Structure 1
């Protein structure tokens, strides 16, 4: 567990304890859901044991993600061809033989994950476009891959929401 997620977990527990002392569990669950949405600008999880975190909407959110930079070795960035960041992209990562490694939905322009060193196929889908790229993940350091093939007009006209 990272320092950032431990701090968030501690705050979440403290707020829930206070809410529970004033009311029932239903109120505490509502408070937790609201607090999580407002407090945490990123999404994170694991898929088949592979950890990932996404976010980065706004400079402060990207700075927060940079605090976790050392925990990951692959960063994917999503942008429109003119350089503006893009969110809401589905990500699929497989080994060269097609074995799934990661399947996630990036709610921000950055998605970071930690994979064993090696070659992978990264497929991203959003705004009715799919892009595929071969990536070599290093045993040390960070590999950054930028997906910027979307156009402003294409994003504006597309049906929102990716498909896996």
Structure 2
């Protein structure tokens, strides 16, 4: 795909994501940082339901959980850094809720999630037209 086609696809995707966000409650608004459009949130039933419905429109879905007793709990305020195969940061943000959705171009990425000074990392390959769901879990 040439740069002009990639740009057209990116513009179309951003328009579709912005249109979908009109139906999302409150603070759930997509943000574009460089070449990445992302959305984070999921606090409360309405936001959680809305973000889970939108997840299929993004190539990457991150979920953040703390394994607590007697059951696991969602968590927010997770520092998220996504780097490409050349170790360049393509996204560096803090999640506003237990979910972060990111629209990434096809390629290999390193995901780093940090909560209360404890970091977790995972590699992921994004394929065009695919959806990856990754859960990061911390213990209490």
Tell me whether 1:151 sits opposite 2:139 in the alignment: yes
Pairwise CA distance, 1:75:
0.4
Q: What TM-score do the two structures reach when normalised by structure 2?
A: 0.77
Tell me the TM-score normalized by structure 1. Answer: 0.66
Paired residues of 1:41 and 1:56 also in contact (CA < 8 A): no
Query: Whose strand fraction is larger, Structure 1's or Structure 2's?
Result: 2
| Aligned 1:78-93 pairs, distance under 5 A | 78-82=64-68, 83-93=72-82
* CA apart distance, 1:43: 5.2
Q: Using the TM superposition, name which of 51-60 and 67-76 deviates more.
A: 67-76
1:27-42 equivalent positions in 2, closer than 5 A: 40-42=26-28
The answer (yes or no) to whether the contact 1:43–1:107 under 8 Å persists in 2 is no
Q: Match for residue 113 of structure 1?
A: 102
SS of equivalent residue, structure 1 residue 68? helix
**Is the helix fraction higher in 1 or 2?**
1
1:94 aligns with 2:48: no
CA-CA distance at 1:112 after TM superposition: 0.3
Corresponding residue of 1:47? 33
Matched, 1:70 2:70: no
- Cα RMSD of the aligned pairs, angstroms, is 1.9
- Describe the SS at the equivalent of 2:74: coil
User: Among residues 21, 27, 34, which one is paired with 1:5 in the alignment?
Assistant: 21
8 A contact 1:42–1:107 mirrored in 2? no
Q: Which has the larger radius of gyration?
A: 1
- Superposed displacement of residue 7, structure 1: 5.4
Q: Determine if contact 2:21/2:29 at 8 Å carries over to the other structure.
A: no
